[in-house]
Structure 1
């Protein structure tokens, strides 16, 4: 039996199954990246809801795991060398999960060095561009920003989102996934944000999604995956 009692976060969110990977998250685009990867890889995990309504992310227990007070974060009782590992930042977590020995069968991160770095390139594209830009667009289009009389901030992020969609549309032309036939952590990183842009932020018309048919095609293929559907539901979090 794994002992996680030395990690302060388990005092606020006790581990019912301490032998399983512990996920601290919410069903946001960044949060579901990790639950989708876990479902795709078939890795046992226990999900804990970090409620923004009660500001759980600022609690001493959560900050003991992630000083940056953001979800998702994980605590893996079977880290490298069998030593528990705490990890945060969704991109880092995706790489870590894809490299776990139990995950090698699915190959969410190619073993070939050149393809591996190309996959990481698209992962960083999401982290540095897709997520931040679409998140800001969501604020100005759906949330408080929609009440601002000055629409220049919204239009700035809408224009940059359209540019990013154009990059993705070109990349996906003639490809099944971002890396061709191989489904990878790059897809798991990018498409929750596209899904959120259209189905939560309701910004499809604003960004002219009809101009990006390849993005829409691959998004639907992504959403059709059973593991994606399970991961989007975030067991224990919704």
Structure 2
């Protein structure tokens, strides 16, 4: 059936498929609720989507590198239940998207995952080269990811995995773009260990939760469809990054689905990885 757009679009709350309950065409809070604030300098409000994982991996990498000021409380924001539309969350992120960060040492709010990574890299002087050429190359790839990921998630992922009906045109359109992105990464990584060169940077931290997860079949169940095995260097780089202890810790923070041992709903202390994952909580109850 051919769709003819009306002269003026109106919102149909039932037309959004899987995410109809959390999508709306206006901003602002839907209810009053203050955000919780813990004991650490950094307060993170998030969920373990690829954008959320970027930030928890970054924080765990900073702590592993000895930056004790990067201690953080990670509070679960359940987007399926509309937590992102609370008045407290909207105060930190007027766009009502996770993740959002509050630096209690300065009173600074930071929203947009790429901005959070850049803020933390500059605050602690880590995972971002200081020479102009190296810094610029890392930022090239960070902003490449920020611009490309919506085509993967909101484009390919939505129409291939989540849309209420399958349509050939959008799936083909965004599959082509996803494979082009993988080829961009493949060509770059054929000459480098990491995206910006020899050093692991915020560009890698930002990109692996999206394109690394894609080639490992962790998102959208599309590994065979996109023939991801052919991207050998992307797979090599993904294995390298995902093997890092900080990545393994960061990927489970604010995760509320999957295997119980891979779920740490909230993180308030480094010991929580040993005592507060859902499998440990179930054993104690």
Q: TM-score, normalised by structure 2?
A: 0.73
Match of 2:85 in 1: 58
Match of 1:94 in 2: 117
- Segments of 5+ residues of structure 2 without an aligned counterpart are 1-32, 64-69, 254-263, 267-277, 279-285
The structure with more helix, counted as a fraction of residues: 1
- Segments of 5+ residues of structure 1 without an aligned counterpart are 1-10
Q: Kindly report the root-mean-square deviation, in angstroms, between the aligned alpha carbons of the 2 structures.
A: 1.6
Q: Is the 8 A contact 2:212 2:234 kept in 1?
A: no
Match of 1:26 in 2: 47
Corresponding position: 1:228 with 2:240? no
2:95 corresponds to which of 51, 68, 78: 68
2:88 and 2:180 map into 1 onto residues whose CA distance is: 40
2:140 and 2:191 map into 1 onto residues whose CA distance is: 19
SS at match of 2:79: coil
Match of 2:133 in 1: 114
Q: Which has the larger radius of gyration?
A: 2
Corresponding position: 1:193 with 2:210? yes
Report how many residues are paired.
217
2:229 and 2:38 map into 1 onto residues whose CA distance is: 46
SS at match of 1:23: strand
Could you say which structure has the greater relative contact order, defined with CA pairs below 8 angstroms and 6 or more residues apart?
A: 1
Q: TM-score, normalised by structure 1?
A: 0.87
Corresponding position: 1:41 with 2:62? yes
Deviation at 1:121, TM superposition (A): 0.6
Corresponding position: 1:84 with 2:102? no
Deviation at 1:125, TM superposition (A): 0.5
SS at match of 2:81: coil
Q: Is the 8 A contact 2:193 2:237 kept in 1?
A: yes
Runs of 4+ more than 4 Å apart: none
1:184 corresponds to which of 191, 196, 201: 201
Corresponding position: 1:12 with 2:34? yes
Deviation at 1:230, TM superposition (A): 0.5
1:110 and 1:199 map into 2 onto residues whose CA distance is: 30
1:184 and 1:164 map into 2 onto residues whose CA distance is: 19
2:213 and 2:222 map into 1 onto residues whose CA distance is: 9
Corresponding position: 1:134 with 2:152? yes
Deviation at 1:140, TM superposition (A): 1.4
Q: Is the 8 A contact 2:35 2:89 kept in 1?
A: no
Corresponding position: 1:173 with 2:190? yes
Deviation at 1:118, TM superposition (A): 1.0
Match of 2:26 in 1: none
